[in-house]
Amino acid sequence: MSIVINSPLDMHLHLRDDDMLKVVAPLSATSFSGAIIMPNLIPPITTKNKLIAYRKRVIDASKDSSFNPYMTLFFKPTYSKEFLSKVKDEISAIKLYPAGITTNSEGGVSGFDIKELKNTLNAMSELNIPLAIHGETNGFVMDREAEFASIYEMLALNFPNLKIIMEHITTKESVALLDRFDNLYATITLHHLLITLDDVAGGMLQPHLFCKPIAKRPEDRASLREVAFKAHPKVMFGSDSAPHPQDKKEASFCSAGVFTAPITLQLLTELFLENSNLDNLQKFISTNAQNIYNIEVPKKEVILEERDFIVPTKYGDIVPLYAGEKIKYSIKEIIC
């Protein structure tokens, strides 16, 4: 059997900046046709100039002309329709972070006051700019995403023409929202299909599996797997691959983020061949996203084979998921 994935897309990716960008961008660019690039730099991407400059740095670092970075702005409730009209052609989405909820999100939204948000969200609706949301409250860590469901509902109801992407969903509550509101979509990561809180903290504590939202309960993972494996048309793959240097992970205060980009296709292939099929993997990792975002993507054919691959212990100074472990599939060839 030949295993071919066409034009894979990563609809939620952190590439960071500077030296880190140079390490990680090629690792995604080589095997993906494109990725939604998150804007939570320091300072965040909030202007057209910053956006264009960052896009150029991403392209330069990618070293692969068959990789398209789909750029995002960091949501501010002060964005006017005039500003958004000018920046519209440069972005694929605007990413909303609740303030302080994850890495470099301090300048995000505090409270969800519809009066404060409506001008920007109405303008985004009119201009057909998707809103990508990190959906967590400041509540107890295991409840944050489920508690955010009411905010997703409020936004979906009040802005019916706004395309809202629930990013990196981790709970059955978020999955349930997909079929309740026409304008809610979701990305799902690789690691949330693989792990639960038991993997993070049930045996020894594993900082390289620590991310936000934190991995939840077995029944939550089952719910994510169900919609991913059947390639629910409103669900897309988004790795949320989030690199940190090893000394920020194996530390007394460990940063949130799992680095999966270089082994994503291999592990998704294993997961889907064991639990679903290649057709659904193709939808999950490319077709659904093309339909939802209404984008055309560079042609890229990734051919995999069943051959052991030992995950490197590090890429630069970043420790990936399953560092040093053997996984079942390898990338054989990439045809652009």
Residues within the interface to its own copies (CB under 8 A)? 140-142, 196-198, 200-202, 204-208, 210, 214, 217-218, 249-256, 319, 323
Question: Least distance (Å) from its own copies to the CB of residue 256?
Answer: 7
Question: Least distance (Å) from its own copies to the CB of residue 321?
Answer: 11
Tokens of 299: 């042609």
**Between residues 106 and 179, which has the closer beta carbon with respect to its own copies?**
106
How would you classify residue 100: left for phi > 0, otherwise alpha for psi between -120 and 50, otherwise beta? Answer: left
Question: Least distance (Å) from its own copies to the CB of residue 318?
Answer: 12
Complete DSSP assignment for 29-71: HTT-SEEEEP---SS---SHHHHHHHHHHHHHHH--TT-EEEE
Chain centroid to CA 238: 3
Question: Least distance (Å) from its own copies to the CB of residue 222?
Answer: 12
**Between residues 117 and 214, which has the closer beta carbon with respect to its own copies?**
214
Supply φ then ψ for residue 225, to 5 degrees: -60, -40
> Is the Cβ–Cβ distance between 53 and 13 less than 8 Å?
no
Say how far apart CA 46 and CA 96 lie, in whole Å. Answer: 11
**Between residues 32 and 259, which has the closer beta carbon with respect to its own copies?**
259
Per-residue exposure over 290-323, b if at least 16 CB sit within 10 Å of its own CB, e if not: bebbeeebeebebebeeeebebeeebeebbbbbb
**Between residues 325 and 333, which has the closer beta carbon with respect to its own copies?**
325
Between strands 184-188 and 235-237, the pairing is: parallel
Count Cα atoms within 13 angstroms, Cβ side, for 101.
24
Q: With CA atoms as reference, report the closest residue to 189 among 301, 124, 244, 264.
A: 264
**Between residues 129 and 146, which has the closer beta carbon with respect to its own copies?**
146
Question: Least distance (Å) from its own copies to the CB of residue 188?
Answer: 20
Catalytic (active-site) positions: 240
